[in-house]
Amino acid sequence: MKTVNIAILGLGTVGGGTYQILQMNRELIEKRTGRTFEVTKVLELRKDRALELGLREDQICSDIEQIVCAEDVDIVVEALGGIDMPTDFMLKAMEHGKSVVTPNKAAVAANYDKLKAAAEKNGVSFRFEASVGGGIPALTAIQEALAGNEFTEVMGIVNGTTNYILTKMTDLGLKYEDVLKDAQEKGFAEKDPTADVEGIDVANKLSILMTLCFDKYVKPTEIPREGITKITMEDIEAARAKGCKIKLIASAKKVGDDVEYSVGPKLIPNEHPLAGVSNEFNAIYVTGNAVDELMFYGKGAGALPTGSAVVGDIIAIGKTL
Ligand code: HSE
């Protein structure tokens, strides 16, 4: 049986979840693909974390060169977070002939063209399904199963942390600060949750969705955005009185040859499918000129749901090796 060797950069929430899934479902994946997927190396400075997950000391690296130069690495999973350093690591990996998988929406949104071009130039794969909507396989669907459509609109709830906070404030009357802490403990939030609550994370994800749906790249920093920090219980009650829920919505719509886009809290009528998307669940709602309206729904954050999308990408690449 062919072995596909993987290196994981960063064993945080998603890197750890990815490792866990590859162990937990090893036999099933082998049976389905006819390949063994082995994590041969990890880049992780917290040795304890790596050992705790079951890695051996000799697999733990502290220098990216140990990974990109290694012969026993076919696919590099970048799960470090951040923008510049992870982008450099991904480019370096591709230059050394490694395919790359990442859940890192900030790096993909900031450097999409550079990363795509490097993959093409070096004849390797670059996949980033987990970067939008966690476990929801919407990006692959948009690029493959729905590739026969002209998209006219894409909108959705694409941040688990803020949706979790808004849900608990709306349904249980809990305080913003308490729920944010809870979301952080559950591993939904970014290291610096400002990116979640100020809509920065959603802008990164909308930038990626627009690139794929409309072939239009807009820098995340150029997307008009508002987060949820100013939402009060009074706002939530006022929305309820109107038969609505407040949701943090990413939206982009074709208007003639142009695309209008924004990120911000919106009143969603209770009967709209997006109003029923609660807690850390996400939903991506696309309209195509053939398929019409379509909604993808699932967990948008968390170790295993997001790891599921990373592992899907690893398998897709592994099957081509
Ligand atoms: N912090 C992100 C969220 C993680 O809450 O949705 C998944 O991208």
Question: Taking a C-beta distance cutoff of 8 angstroms, is the pair 212, 261 a contact?
Answer: no
Which of 131, 190, 277 has the most ligand 1 atoms within 8 A of CB, as the residue to mutate? 190
Task: List, for residues 106-149, the tens digit of each pLDDT value.
Answer: 999 999 999 999 999 999 999 999 999 999 999 999 999 999 99
Nearest-CA residue for ligand 1 atom 7 is 301
Sign of CA dihedral 93, 94, 97, 101: positive
271 CA → ligand 1 middle, Å: 25
CA distance 28 to 102: 23
Question: Taking a C-beta distance cutoff of 8 angstroms, is the pair 248, 162 a contact?
Answer: yes
Nearest-CA residue for ligand 1 atom 4 is 301
Active site residues: 205
Task: List, for residues 49-104, the tens digit of each pLDDT value.
Answer: 999 999 999 999 999 999 999 999 999 999 999 999 999 999 999 999 999 999 99
In this prediction, residue 191 carries a pLDDT of: 82
- In sequence order, which residues have a C-beta less than 8 Å from that of residue 65 and are 6 or more positions away? none
Ligand 1: which atom is nearest the Cα of residue 105? 8
For ligand 1, say whether the CB of 131 is within 6 Å of any of its atoms: no
Least confident segment among 35-39, 40-44, 189-193, 289-293: 189-193
Q: pTM of this prediction?
A: 0.97
Q: 242 in helix, strand or coil?
A: coil
Ligand 1: which atom is nearest the Cα of residue 183? 5
In this prediction, residue 24 carries a pLDDT of: 98
DSSP string covering 26-90? HHHHHHHHSEEEEEEEEE-S-HHHHHHHT--GGGEESSHHHHHT-TT-SEEEE---SSHHHHHHH
Share of the chain above pLDDT 90, in %: 98
Which of 18, 168, 188, 202 has the most ligand 1 atoms within 8 A of CB, as the residue to mutate? 188
For ligand 1, say whether the CB of 44 is within 6 Å of any of its atoms: no
70 CA → ligand 1 middle, Å: 31
143 CA → ligand 1 middle, Å: 22
Provide the mean pLDDT of the chain.
97
For ligand 1, say whether the CB of 159 is within 6 Å of any of its atoms: yes
Task: List, for residues 201-247, the tens digit of each pLDDT value.
Answer: 999 999 999 999 999 999 999 999 999 999 999 999 999 999 999 99
Share of the chain above pLDDT 70, in %: 100
Ligand 1: which atom is nearest the Cα of residue 163? 5
Q: Which amino acid is at 275?
A: A
For ligand 1, say whether the CB of 301 is within 6 Å of any of its atoms: yes
